[in-house]
Amino acid sequence: MTIKEKIQLLREELNQHNYNYYVLDNATISDYDFDIKLKELEKLEEENPAFFDPNSPTKRVGGGITKNFDTIVHKNRMYSLDNSYSKEDLLDWEKRIQKNLGTEAIEYTCELKYDGASINLTYENGEFVRAVTRGDGFQGDEVTSNIRTIRSIPLSVKKDFVSNFEMRGEIILPLEGFQKMNNERIANGEEAYRNPRNTASGSLKLQDSSEVAKRPLDCLLYQVVTDERKYASHFEILTASREVGFKIPTTIKLAKSIDEVLDFVKEWDAKRHDLPYETDGVVVKVNSLQHQEELGYTSKSPRWAIAYKFKAEQVATLLNEITYQVGRTGAITPVANLTPVHLAGTVVKRASLHNADQIEKLDIRINDTVLVEKGGEIIPKIVAVDVSRRAKDSQPTIYATHCPECNTELVRNEGDAKHYCPNEFGCFPQITGKIQHYIGRKAMNIDGLGSETVELLHKEGLIENYADLYELKVEQITPLERMAEKSAQNMIEGIEKSKQIPFEKVLFALGIRFVGETVAKKLAKHFKSIDNLMNADLETLVAVDEIGDRIAQSIIDFSKNEHNIILIHKLKTYGVQLEVSKESLENLTNKLANTIFVVSGVFYQMSRNELKKAIEDNGGKVSSSISKKTNYIVAGDNMGPSKLTKAESLNIPIITEQDFIDMIR
């Protein structure tokens, strides 16, 4: 046997033992014998560097240092899930699914919703190459070195699985391992970690991967993303994933009806506390991958999946004070300051009271004993008051009349639940909030500049708005607290780089009220430049798809404000992209203007997403359901029979993939 063959044999043997122990929970070798074989492999690899492999079992122990975690754009966006909290919510979701698909016979998969840190694992030719955190769904931090240390994640998979794919899952810290870690910390006189979820998430950003290797992290996987069409259903591809080495929980169930889904929810609501890890609900998915493609996505979530959240844990505590926060739009949010209390693994000190109506509805008063829960087990909120424990001299809460930051009298517009501070350009949190929004990841994504630094720069009189960022100099920043020359240089480089950010993101960054990411994209695509947008009247604006009166009026108010006009002029002079680039315009046409398409079936020359993008790039609109307004059905293989029947009954033209390509050529 050659040295190369011996190294390969040891790697395969150790990988199998890792799989047996960490995935199957069925050790077939002692820890001592495993360590002996691992040391033998380490020695052979050290003596024969020509046979280096980044996915060798010897790399599981870590040792690499990562000073900065690179930001990586996801090839396929990681969407969030819509939440449901009742049987009625699930039944309503099913009705929407049936209406979109035009069929009642739908299979579902039921999976427990794991409470950890979302991760995206990329495999090329069966080899693990990259791990990226969810981040904001569009981009995240690369944590490959740390993920290699988690032994339940295979570093290579058998060739009979799909070759290029992304595997998505949740990095968790099992309860037993979490307790063991805390026992050791307490014994060493250190403070215990608060909860498994935050500890797991924090572990991924440790700079020393050998420290990550010491933590008993695990990875539960729940989705394969691939362009290969080898498997027909979600359940089938997950079953195949388990067979090639991935840790797919055995709790997953195939449900033939929504009644079976509800049975699964009921069963695990009772049994969840017996699990070795934390879970806060059930994820229900349409099983057919073709159906998933047909249903598609909203701007935030897949239509083919929904999360059912178990009833949140509640605790009673004392409300000591009500304070008021000011957001970047001037919106006032009342906050309950509580006697600290443990809730769902964290210590809760504050809870949102939402608005004046909510305070009045629950009759919330200072010194009340209140019932607190985590909304979706994330954001604490007050759900009730224990009136029986209220003091006799208790007085109703009088809502704030003036801004807590600048003392300007608050206003409340008719039909609006919130109060606002109208001092938009003179109120500290509004000034800094707008700049913080501008520099954010989803907006201008300026590296080297954070929220605290924005506040410091404003306090020092260096910036009054986001346009002022482009006038900053290294020598102005370096003398500031906690600022070194390298940090200042990185900040200036990040600001300069933001001038290349495309118009649609700049438009979102401007912070126009009600103009979120999706709306900004539609407006940028329609108007092509900030000048066209700011010169548009109400009628022109509401004529744009999905732009209503409220958004249109907000844009007009922004455009007429003298302060904003000056800001936009400054941004233009600094070279910020305030119009769609020539390169982007080259690929856009109006060939399909005022034409609505429904895309259904399996395609081969273009992916479904590429086809939809081509429709939109040529001025058309994609709809998820067939109606009298539909102009064409682009039909691929295995088009749903009910959709075919409906299209024929409405006399809607059905065209092939090639017909569509010829149409836009």
Distance CA 477, CA 490 (A): 11
CA distance 323 to 353: 10
Tokens of 78: 């990681």
Q: Are 57 and 281 in contact (CB under 8 A)?
A: no
Query: DSSP 3-state helix, strand, coil percentages of the chain (rounded to 5)?
Result: 40, 20, 40
Distance between CA 203 and CA 213 in Å, rounded?
A: 10
What is the C-alpha separation between 608 and 370, in angstroms, rounded? 50
Neighbours of 370 (CB within 10 A): 23
Strands 218-225 and 165-172: antiparallel
Beta bridge partners of 19: none
Q: Which of 39, 67, 99, 113 is catalytic?
A: 113
Do the Cβ atoms of 381 and 403 come closer than 8 Å? no
Sign of CA dihedral 225, 231, 235, 241: negative
Per the structure block, which two tokens stand in for 214?
A: 């010491």
Specify the DSSP class assigned to residue 28.
-
Give the largest CA-CA distance in the chain: 89
Q: Do the Cβ atoms of 386 and 316 come closer than 8 Å?
A: yes
Residue 120 φ/ψ, nearest 5 degrees: -120, 115
| C-alpha–C-alpha distance, residues 92 and 61, integer Å | 48
Instruction: Say if residue 287 is exposed, middle or buried (CB neighbours under 10 Å; 0-12, 13-18, 19+).
Output: buried
Cβ contact 314:379 at 8 Å: no
Residue type for 438, please? Y
Locate 57 and state its tokens: 């079992």
Lookup: tokens for 164: 């290029």
Compute the C-alpha angle 572/578/584, nearest 5°. Answer: 140
**What amino acid is encoded at 150 in this protein?**
I
**Residue whose structure tokens are 């691929």:** 636
Question: What's the 3-state SS for 375-423?
Answer: ECCCEEEEEEECHHHCCCCCCCCCCCCECCCCCCECECCCCCCCCECCC
Q: Which residue has the tokens 């699985």?
A: 161
> Active site includes 113?
yes
Encode burial over 558-587: b for 16+ CB neighbours within 10 A, e otherwise.
bbeeeebeebbebbeeeebbbbbeeebeee
Identify the burial level of 184 via C-beta atoms within 10 angstroms of its C-beta, where 0-12 means exposed, 13-18 middle and 19 or more buried. exposed
Is-contact 140 120, C-beta < 8 A?
yes
Least Cα distance to 632 among 590, 658, 601, 597 occurs for 597
Catalytic residues, by residue number, are 113
